[in-house]
Amino acid sequence: MDKPAGPTSHDVVAHVRRVCGERSIGHTGTLDPFATGLLVLLLGKGTRVARFLDGLAKTYLATAHLGMRTTTDDLTGEPMGDTWEGPLPGEASLAAALAGFVGTQAQVPPAFSAKKLDGERAYARARRGEAVTLAASDITVHAAELVSVEGPSVTFRVTVSTGTYVRALARDLGERLGVGAHLTALRREAIGPLLVEHAVALDAVAAETPLWPLGAVLSHLPSATVDDAGQVDIGHGRPIPGVQVGPVALFAGDQVIAIADGDGRWLKPTVVLAAR
């Protein structure tokens, strides 16, 4: 799906459920209501492969407003602290600051986030006005580049690991530059090999909208073709010979019938999608 600004990720799932008449639908990677872009929905048996998409890197086009911090680190929050009145950094400083994020680092999640603190969502405490201090988590920024600068608005593209808060990157960008910043726009362009250019707009979804085959969605995994005898073994949960290591998509023809865990000698099925 190419999610528009406004609805929550849950709203998108509910809409597709109504239109397609499929009760079992899940999504990978929540987008905030103001964010747009790629939201992968898994239908029916496809929901069982969600965990094999969780670790994929994600690419975002983001816009930050320099000179003001907010309580949520984005445009939905209240202004916090003083507004910067001095000169703003130039493109060279911005590009250098963004490049400095590339690599693995500890990131403090926003106070208004779904992270749990003593069993309660952090945003629930923050909304009550309580002070929220969250532990930093290790994240990886694979790439970061400056796209454009228009006054205090800075647009940049980042490819990041799962669990990275782009609004926290906008916040930290402002801190590094000494002027403060918050996120004003966010569009997810890719999840691993899946691109938003191939997504369907929410208002274009219909009962006859074609679904992507699981083989395309799982193209980042190594694969193996299973013969007739192997399909019987897979259907009974028995391992078959194979040299791959880690998760492997098992095909019968052009259909994914299972995901197996390979140890270099055997492929042990962990998710069976079709049995013979």
* The token pair that represents 131 in the structure block: 């002070």
For every residue of the chain, DSSP letters joined together read -EEPSSS-HHHHHHHHHHHHT-S-EEEES---TT-EEE-EEEEGGGGGGGGGTTT--EEEEEEEEET-EETTSBTTS-EESPPP-SPPP-HHHHHHHHHTT-EEEEEPPPSSSS-EETTEEHHHHHHTT----PPPEEEEEEEEEEEEEETTEEEEEEEE-TT--HHHHHHHHHHHHTS-EEEEEEEEEEETTEEGGG--BGGG--TTPPPPPHHHHTTTS-EEE--HHHHHHHHTT--EE---EEEEEEEETTEEEEEEEEESSEEEEEEE----
What pLDDT was estimated at residue 275? 66
Which residue ranges make up each domain of the chain? Answer: 2-56+193-204, 58-66+86-178, 221-272
- CATH classification of 221-272 is 2.30.130.10, yes or no? yes
Per-residue model confidence as pLDDT tens digits over 46-57: 999 999 998 899
240 in Cβ contact with 226 (< 8 Å): yes
Per-residue model confidence as pLDDT tens digits over 48-95: 999 999 889 999 999 999 999 999 999 999 999 889 999 999 999 999
Annotated catalytic residues are 32
> Distance from CA of residue 91 to its chain's centroid?
28
Select from 241, 238, 275 the least CA-distant residue to 257.
275
What pLDDT was estimated at residue 50? 93
* CA distances from residue 187 to 156, 203, 215 in whole angstroms, order as listed: 11, 18, 25
If one looks up domain 58-66+86-178 in CATH, what number appears? 3.30.2350.10
What pLDDT was estimated at residue 276? 63
- pLDDT tens, per residue, the chain with 276 residues: 999 999 999 999 999 999 999 999 999 888 999 999 999 999 999 999 999 998 899 999 999 999 999 999 999 999 998 899 999 999 999 999 999 999 999 998 887 777 777 777 777 777 777 777 778 899 999 999 999 999 999 999 999 999 999 999 999 999 999 999 999 999 999 999 999 999 999 999 998 888 899 999 999 999 999 999 999 999 999 999 999 999 999 999 999 999 999 999 999 999 999 866
What pLDDT was estimated at residue 49? 94
What pLDDT was estimated at residue 127? 79
Q: What is the pTM of this model?
A: 0.92
* Residue 206 CB-density burial (10 A; 0-12 exposed, 13-18 middle, 19+ buried): exposed
Select from 225, 217, 213 the least CA-distant residue to 260.
225
